[in-house]
Amino acid sequence: TIGHSSPALFDKLSEFLVRRSHEFNSQGMANTVWAYATLLHFSPALFDKIAEVSLHRLDEFNSQGLSNTVWAYATLGHYLPALFDKIAEVSLHIIHEFNSQDIANTVWAYATSGHTSPTLFNKIAEVSFRRIDEFSPQELANIAWAYAKIGHSSPALFDKIAEASLCRVHDFNSRNIANTVWAFASVGHYSPALFDKIAEVTWPCLHQYNSQELANTVWAYAVSNFPSNVEFCHDQCVADSIISSFEKFDRWSLFQIHQWNLWCSESLDNSILPSDLSNRCLESFSLEDGSPSKLQRSVAHVLTKMRISFEEEARLGTGYSVDMLLTINGEKIPIEVDGPSHYLGESKTQNGSTRLKHRQIGVLDGLEIVTVPYWEWDEVAAKDKRNNGFKYRIAYLRSLLKKQYIGDGAIN
């Protein structure tokens, strides 16, 4: 805990511990991986061995031991699905014993590793809802971030986080604020009062945010699109903060800045960034190559059978790419085939990124997207498979296109 790293010592210690790992008790195992992770010292052989031993003894771990263990493996990027599954299973039975830090560290670990555990996240949401006042600002932000990152929908929990955060915003640091607004925007959970309060606090010190915090924050306000927060696209101070940080933005941050810049165009009919920077954002955004999914290819195959002309991965003026851009009777019709990544967990609720894309294409490109949700396509495809044909998929697409754009006689 003194934070003094000695790589050679830890490497030598690893060799010893691998041979003696069967002698560890639960606390010894949890403390060991926690120590290595805290010092960011990676020892794959040791972590594999401790996982092997602990997997059958996780019932011996207390709440802190479980949390520290999964946190350590996530921190060092040593992802072992079987271990994560077993920790989730054991944690469910003693989740009421987890303190606020245990809870925040656990959901952070699962989200960071990309390991979904809907049952655990549902239970943690239930427990956290009742104990929300116990969480620090950082823990509130980390929980919101984790649920958004993993795409787990929990409206009641987000309402409670908004309520708890509202009166403590002044205690949030820049990272907490950026993670919170990013999380709310990512899950499409709108809290005008919280965003108004955060805007009030953020405004005087936005220039102090690092590049990632700045990009996450302005992107979140672009997604939420609250009329009361228009200063995030109207005020030159925001643009000046972005301009001064521009060379520090990574590619993903440039994507976010481009979408914020499009929001300025939505609200003001023009960008407030200099044209050269606007063009660099657009160029970076437009370089993202789309790769047709199996689901998308399936829809394209049926459209071909219907003799409808279309362009796949069509690039629009905003820089967005749509899965297919149809041309029917001279009219351009964009189709998005939305798989599970466009929705929150197992729900049918679109995430914030998808909503933003649809809105900006509608406003700025003047095109209303026709969406093919994966579960609807799977349903009609299953019917066709039973009947060895295309009847139900063709009828489904006809129905979508007629409903959105075309008179009854337009598609035969």
Residue 407's pLDDT is 45
What is the model's pLDDT at position 1?
A: 53
pLDDT at res. 410: 44
Q: How many residues does the chain have?
A: 412
Structure tokens at 251: 């590619």
How buried is residue 10: exposed, middle or buried, by Cβ count under 10 Å (0-12/13-18/19+)? middle
Residue 409, pLDDT score = 42
Q: What is the pLDDT of residues 99-115, one digit of tens each?
A: 999 999 999 999 999 99
Helix (H) or strand (E) holding 311: strand 309-315
Cα–Cα distance, 151 to 186 (Å, whole number): 8
Nearest to 72 by CA among 118, 43, 100, 35: 35
**Residue 144: alpha-carbon gap to chain centroid:** 11
- The Cα–Cα gap between 350 and 253 comes to 22
Give the model's pLDDT for residue 403.
55
* Closest C-alpha to 365, from 245, 292, 266: 266
User: Distances in Å between the alpha carbon of 358 and those of 33, 137, 295, 371?
Assistant: 44, 33, 19, 9
Each residue's pLDDT, cut to its tens digit, for the chain (412 residues) gives 545 557 777 777 777 777 777 888 999 999 999 999 998 998 999 999 999 999 999 999 999 999 999 999 999 999 999 999 999 999 999 999 999 999 999 999 999 999 999 999 999 999 999 999 999 999 999 999 999 999 998 999 999 999 999 999 999 999 999 999 999 999 999 899 999 999 988 877 888 899 999 999 999 999 999 877 777 777 788 889 999 999 999 999 999 999 999 999 888 777 788 999 999 999 999 987 777 889 999 999 999 999 999 999 999 999 999 999 998 888 899 999 999 999 998 889 999 999 999 999 999 999 999 999 999 999 999 999 999 999 999 999 999 998 554 444 444 4
Are 335 and 299 a contacting pair, CB within 8 Å? yes
Phi first, then psi, for residue 169 (nearest 5°) are: -55, -35
The span from the CA of 351 to the CA of 152, in Å, is 10
